[in-house]
Amino acid sequence: MSKELKVMEPKQYDDEIDLYELIEILVRHKWSIVITTVLCTLLSLGAALYMRSKTPNYLIKNILIQQDTYGLKGVNRIDIDSVLLQDKNIKKILDIQPIKKEYLEKTPENLRNITSERKFLQDILTISKNDKNPNEISIKAEIVADENGSKEIINRYLDILREQDNLSDVITEEKNIKVISLQKTRIELEKIQNEILDIFKKDSDLRALKPEEKVNYITYKYPELNLKRSEQEKYYNTYVNELVRLDSLNNNLDVIKETTDIYFVKGQSKAKLILAVGIVMGVFLGIMVAFLKDFIDGYKRRFKK
């Protein structure tokens, strides 16, 4: 039994990997590893630079839309999602010369139509809402020609949003209606007051009464006239209060508030990741080449024997 163990023991050591031998192989073929690593690094560097050159930069502006109808009819809701769905807005933005030039250069003549124009603008213009506050809007425009052209895109988009805002016009129209109604009510009150004066002149029973008694007398003797006066006074006060309220809304007419200036954001590329992966792959391939060359050299030596 002991003899069998002694026979098996050398075979067991023959199957084990000799770490020193592996290191010797790597040292012997070190230039193959270096050259392979350098070649892979150069290739990955070229790919990284290409990716960086193709990564777009952006201009961003943040706005806050605080809109309320204030109980008024006919106030438009500002819809940021429908801007690029309307053909007239596409034309307004493409009127910007640098942007139009870029569109014409990138789009073949036979494909130039409203659909391709919309797709072109949707690719370079991104509108996003804050998840916590949907009223906070971020407008991001890709720099496709130059910064001035992209700034103009953002400003043109804001102009289109402001065109949707008709609160000022509705308030003005509502104020005009209330002023006309107030004038009519004032005329009616003057007529009622004249009727009361005529009663004072014609009704002899009023002469012997005290001032406060005269009011009660007219109230009870002419109830329809008194009711008519109360109604008109109620209308008059309502219109006055409405005009005061509408005047106070002037402070809220700035529905679209610009919370930031237009600022530059550099596009995030994967250039660093590509370069790092290239270096690691170069080292790995270099080691594989070293072992492969050592295997081929060993095979040739055995074949010569």
pLDDT value of residue 177: 94
The 8 Å CB, 24+ separation contacts for 25-31 are 25/290, 25/291, 25/294, 26/287, 26/290, 28/290, 28/294, 29/289, 29/290, 29/293, 29/294, 30/290
pTM of the model: 0.66
Q: Are the C-beta atoms of residues 150 and 144 closer than 8 Å to each other?
A: yes
Evaluated on CA atoms 166, 170, 172, 173, the torsion sign reads positive
What's the chain's length in residues? 305
In the chain, which residues have pLDDT < 50?
A: 1-8, 11-13
pLDDT value of residue 81: 86
pLDDT value of residue 182: 93
Would you state the structure tokens that stand for residue 232, as one six-digit string?
């008109």
Closest to 80 (Cα-Cα) out of 232, 247, 214, 255: 255
pLDDT value of residue 1: 46
Q: Name the pairing type of β-strands 125-129 and 58-65.
A: unpaired
Task: Tell the residue number behind the tokens 């060359």, with chain if given.
Answer: 293
Task: Tell the residue number behind the tokens 């700035």, with chain if given.
Answer: 254
pLDDT value of residue 2: 47
pLDDT value of residue 93: 92
Would you state the structure tokens that stand for residue 273, as one six-digit string?
């990741």
Q: Are the C-beta atoms of residues 56 and 142 closer than 8 Å to each other?
A: yes
SS3 126: strand
The Cα–Cα gap between 237 and 182 comes to 9
The Cα–Cα gap between 63 and 261 comes to 9
Task: Tell the residue number behind the tokens 């295997």, with chain if given.
Answer: 295
SS3 107: coil
Q: Identify how many contiguous H helices and E strands the chain contains and give both numbers.
A: 11, 5
Q: Name the pairing type of β-strands 58-65 and 263-265.
A: antiparallel
Each domain of the chain, given as residue ranges in start order, spans 29-55+268-287, 58-167, 169-252
SS3 63: strand
The Cα–Cα gap between 85 and 164 comes to 14
Burial of 279 (0-12, 13-18, 19+ CB in 10 A): middle
Q: Are the C-beta atoms of residues 168 and 72 closer than 8 Å to each other?
A: no
